């Protein structure tokens, strides 16, 4: 008899929670196993606990400890003194901090208005029917710079951008342009980074756009064709509005990535800050303050100010893109 | 949304409700029957599933929890448990003593490893580990270790003079070596200028590896061909020789950095005049006629007379030397060692001589760079660490071995008479470079240690571009540099 019953009940029904059954059937099921309820409830938490334990250790604890550090001034490597919000004041009145923020802002504008439009253009190109056959190869090629190490890319670009014997100057020389000192002239610093990052981050951004484009259903486009929309109208009135969710994500990523840019400028100028601090980025400044000057309090305060700044920007941006979830 | 009239899904709906009715019946029946027969669901489950499924489930929970505990202990306490073990070993007086040495140059690692093997012959009860790290990583790690109270740190560490200043603020992490040095009676064993580099507030914090005397290396064949009598007395003569070489043979006399890295060369020439960026009391002394003159001279060599090769990367300079485009260079002993390594094909064509001077009373040499071996305050085996340090840094045997292995000329006086140091160097056409370096060591100026030397680099970095481009004069450059540096120092105090 009992075997008959068990074969009659499907596995998922067996695994159903008591309260679940009660809700569906209106029958109160009464289990009397010792601690069974507690065990059943706690087991899933045990399974997900490794992540949360590690996260508490390396995420939450440092976050609060960092706040404490930012309220102290480092007197020497081993001693510090409570100074209240002095570090925050020092960061906000520091010329080099604002200089780094200016650099980051200029770079962000560059990445938003140069890298992203190019990425969108490339994505549209890849989406076009003529290239459909080669889409796999093209996307692979586009993605490959993204998996190349920042160190390697920066080293190679350093040689490309050199004044004597660099490829860029070699090509410009063919047109009679005198050699430009890309790496030492402060006016070229952000441009160098944009050249490098366009190459490195074009692929991943166009892949995001491609994913967005593939989500636009053909029916909408067909409807617009029937209504007599031309290519330009279709792009501005159909493609762009429908890309909004993915666009919000890409812009969000680009802004945060720009303000947190570290590896590329660090490698291009070999750990310094470039001529006249032209490649000083907030995170690079933070690193220098913490590990070159041992101003841990200052560096921590800088980190929190940067975080608050990015939070505000993100909130404004979410309003702008009308992201609800 | 699809729309359908109520009768279309009637069958489906009935099926659905039937399904739940069926399940409820089963549960009703089951719980009643279970309670009646078994009194507990656990027993029934074992009965139904034959116990096997339950066993599997229990085992998987057990394995998972073991894994969980393992990951947590590995991530959280891994390094700690290691270091406590090491500490235990150290406190045990009968067991072997463990020492750790950190360094950032492979040549030093080579030397240390050789020294360890020789040291162990007389001290078999000691284990010394030599760790090689990247330059920046070494000091970043030292900073973290010092914050942690020395936990997991080394006993001995190589500190480059440029990085030394950073650690001089407030509570110093290095052990003062005065008593050790006095006890060993080695107070005057090392060249004074070198000792001063690691002496701060009267305390000795490190023992130097190399003498680092700066000399002029030149291509003897080319200078002879041009009929230039070496050594040249003054920098004016040097510039005239440069013009001659440029006009007659089309070669540059010197490589000079076009970036802020030039401050190393400027510093070396500045110390030649008996001054330094930091004066004896540790105050900045930059806005001086000598500093302005040196900057102007180097700038003119590159821009006006075009007798010096302005380079962006040091590899470019090496290549120019290799190609014979540049025929002389100003380098310290370690730089000469690098030249030997990098430009092997020009062996035998080089010669070494003293630097030209600006005015009477200037030194015909200077100091450039250097690395000292220091002991950390947190070391648990200071006695043994000192014993090894003394063996490596203050014995003739090690000094000679270091010169052989790495071409670093020792700062230790007693090693100078050794025949191995006196021998001719085939790279420099058989010239007795050891003797020459010894002579230079006697008149070599000192570099004053300060905690703000990296702030000077920062200020230099900021204003140098304007000077290099010609937007400001050398006078304005020196003035703005000193002002900037003073505000930076004030801010960091």
Q: What angle do CA B449, B271, B224 make, to 5 degrees?
A: 140
Residue B81 has a pLDDT of 39
pLDDT confidence of residue B312: 86
Using an 8 Å CB-CB cutoff, list chain A residues near B170: 75-79
Reported as type and span, the H/E element at residue B14 is: helix B10-37
Give the best residue of A19, A55, A62, A275 to mutate against chain B (max B CB count within 10 A): A275
- Please determine, for residue A277, whether its predicted confidence score (pLDDT) is greater than 90: no
Residues 67-106 of A with CB under 8 A from B: 75-79
The pLDDT of residue A99: 93
Residue B479 CB-half CA count within 13 A: 5
B9–chain A nearest CA distance, Å: 20
- CB-based contact, A163 to chain B, within 8 Å: yes
> Distance between CA atoms of B199 and A318, rounded to whole angstroms?
57
Its pTM stands at 0.76
**Residue among B59, B128, B64 at smallest CA distance from B99:** B128
Residue B336 pLDDT: 87
B78-100: pLDDT as tens digits = 444 344 444 444 444 567 889 99
Confidence of residue A208 (pLDDT cuts 50, 70, 90): very high
Q: What is the mean pLDDT of chain B?
A: 85
| Contact with chain B for residue A316, Cβ under 8 A | no
ipTM of the complex: 0.71
What average pLDDT does the segment A297-306 reach?
Answer: 95
Ranges of residues in chain B with a pLDDT under 70 are 1-13, 33-54, 72-94
Q: Which residues of B38-60 are buried (b: 16+ CB within 10 A; e: fewer)?
A: eeebeebbbebeeeeeeeeeeee
pLDDT digits (tens, 9 = 90+) for A23-51: 766 666 555 555 666 667 777 888 888 99
d(CA A263, CA A196): 12
* pLDDT of res. B4: 56
User: Distance, in angstroms, between B224 CA and closest chain A CA?
Assistant: 30
CB contact under 8 A, B169 and A162: no
| Cβ neighbours of B419 (radius 10 Å) | 8
**Partners of residue B371 on adjacent β-strands:** B160
Nearest CA in chain B to A35: B42
């Amino acid at each position: 008899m009992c075997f008959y019953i068990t074969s009659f009940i499907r596995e998922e029904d067996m695994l159903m929670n008591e309260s679940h059954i009660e809700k569906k059937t209106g029958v109160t099921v009464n289990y009397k196993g010792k601690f069974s309820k507690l065990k059943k409830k706690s087991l899933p938490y045990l399974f997900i606990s490794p992540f949360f334990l590690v996260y508490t250790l390396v995420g939450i604890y440092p976050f609060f400890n960092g706040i404490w550090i930012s309220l102290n001034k480092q007197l020497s490597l081993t001693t510090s003194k409570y100074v209240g919000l002095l570090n925050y004041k020092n960061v906000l009145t520091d010329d080099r901090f604002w200089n780094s923020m200016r650099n980051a802002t200029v770079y962000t504008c560059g990445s938003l208005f140069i890298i992203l439009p190019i990425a969108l253009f490339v994505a549209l190109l890849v989406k076009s029917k003529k290239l459909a056959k080669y889409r796999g190869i093209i996307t692979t090629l586009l993605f490959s710079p993204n998996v190349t190490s920042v160190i390697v890319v920066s080293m190679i670009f350093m040689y490309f951008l050199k004044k004597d014997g660099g490829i860029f100057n070699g090509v410009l020389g063919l047109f009679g342009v005198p050699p430009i000192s890309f790496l030492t002239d402060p006016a070229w610093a952000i441009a160098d980074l944009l050249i490098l990052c366009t190459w490195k981050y074009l692929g991943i951004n166009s892949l995001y756009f491609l994913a967005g484009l593939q989500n636009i259903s053909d029916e909408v486009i067909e409807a617009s064709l029937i209504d007599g929309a031309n290519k330009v109208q279709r792009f501005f009135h159909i493609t762009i509005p429908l890309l909004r969710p993915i666009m919000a994500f890409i812009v969000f990523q680009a802004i945060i990535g720009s303000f947190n840019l570290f590896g590329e400028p660090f490698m291009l100028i070999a750990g310094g800050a470039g001529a006249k601090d032209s490649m000083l980025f907030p995170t690079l400044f933070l690193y220098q303050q913490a590990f070159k000057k041992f101003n841990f309090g200052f560096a921590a305060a800088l980190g929190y100010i940067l975080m608050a700044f990015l939070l505000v920007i993100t909130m404004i941006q979410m309003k702008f893109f009308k992201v609800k979830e | 949304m699809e729309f359908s009239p109520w009768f279309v899904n009637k069958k489906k709906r009935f099926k659905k409700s039937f399904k739940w009715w069926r399940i409820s019946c089963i549960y009703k029946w089951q719980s009643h029957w279970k309670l009646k027969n078994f009194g507990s669901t656990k027993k029934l489950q074992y009965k139904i599933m034959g116990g096997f499924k339950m066993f599997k489930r229990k085992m998987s929970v057990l394995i998972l929890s073991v894994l969980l505990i393992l990951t947590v202990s590995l991530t959280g306490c891994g390094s700690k448990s290691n270091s406590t073990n090491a500490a235990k070993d150290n406190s045990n007086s009968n067991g072997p003593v463990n020492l750790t040495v950190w360094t950032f140059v492979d040549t030093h690692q080579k030397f240390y490893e050789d020294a360890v093997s020789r040291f162990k012959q007389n001290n078999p009860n000691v284990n010394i580990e030599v760790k090689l790290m990247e330059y920046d990583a070494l000091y970043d790690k030292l900073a973290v270790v010092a914050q942690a109270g020395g936990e997991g740190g080394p006993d001995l560490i190589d500190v480059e003079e440029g990085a030394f200043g950073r650690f001089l603020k407030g509570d110093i992490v290095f052990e003062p070596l005065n008593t050790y040095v006095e006890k060993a009676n080695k107070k005057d064993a090392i060249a004074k200028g070198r000792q001063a580099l690691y002496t701060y507030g009267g305390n000795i914090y490190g023992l130097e590896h190399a003498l680092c005397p700066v000399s002029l290396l030149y291509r003897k064949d080319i200078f002879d061909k041009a009929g230039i009598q070496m050594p040249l007395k003054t920098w004016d003569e040097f510039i005239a020789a440069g013009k001659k070489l440029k006009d007659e043979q089309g070669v540059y006399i010197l490589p000079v950095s076009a970036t802020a890295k030039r401050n190393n060369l400027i510093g070396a020439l500045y110390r030649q005049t008996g001054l330094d960026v930091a004066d004896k009391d540790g105050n900045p002394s930059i806005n001086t006629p000598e500093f302005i003159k040196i900057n102007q001279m180097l700038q003119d060599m590159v821009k006006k007379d075009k007798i010096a090769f302005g380079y962006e990367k040091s590899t470019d300079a090496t290549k120019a030397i290799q190609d014979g485009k540049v025929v002389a260079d100003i380098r310290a002993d370690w730089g000469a060692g690098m030249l030997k390594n990098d430009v092997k094909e020009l062996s035998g064509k080089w010669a070494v001589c003293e630097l030209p001077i600006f005015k009477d009373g200037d030194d015909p040499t200077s100091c450039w760079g250097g690395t000292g071996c220091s002991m950390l305050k947190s070391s648990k085996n200071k006695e043994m660490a000192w014993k090894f340090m003394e063996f490596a840094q203050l014995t003739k045997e090690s000094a000679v071995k270091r010169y052989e292995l790495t071409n670093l000329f020792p700062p230790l006086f007693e090693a100078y008479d050794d025949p191995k140091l006196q021998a001719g160097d085939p790279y420099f056409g058989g010239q007795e470079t050891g003797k020459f370096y010894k002579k230079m060591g006697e008149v070599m100026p000192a570099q004053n240690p300060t905690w703000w030397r990296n702030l000077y680099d920062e200020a230099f970095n900021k204003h140098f571009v304007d000077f290099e481009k010609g937007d400001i004069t050398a006078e304005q450059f020196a003035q703005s540099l000193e002002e900037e540096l003073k505000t930076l120092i004030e801010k960091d105090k």
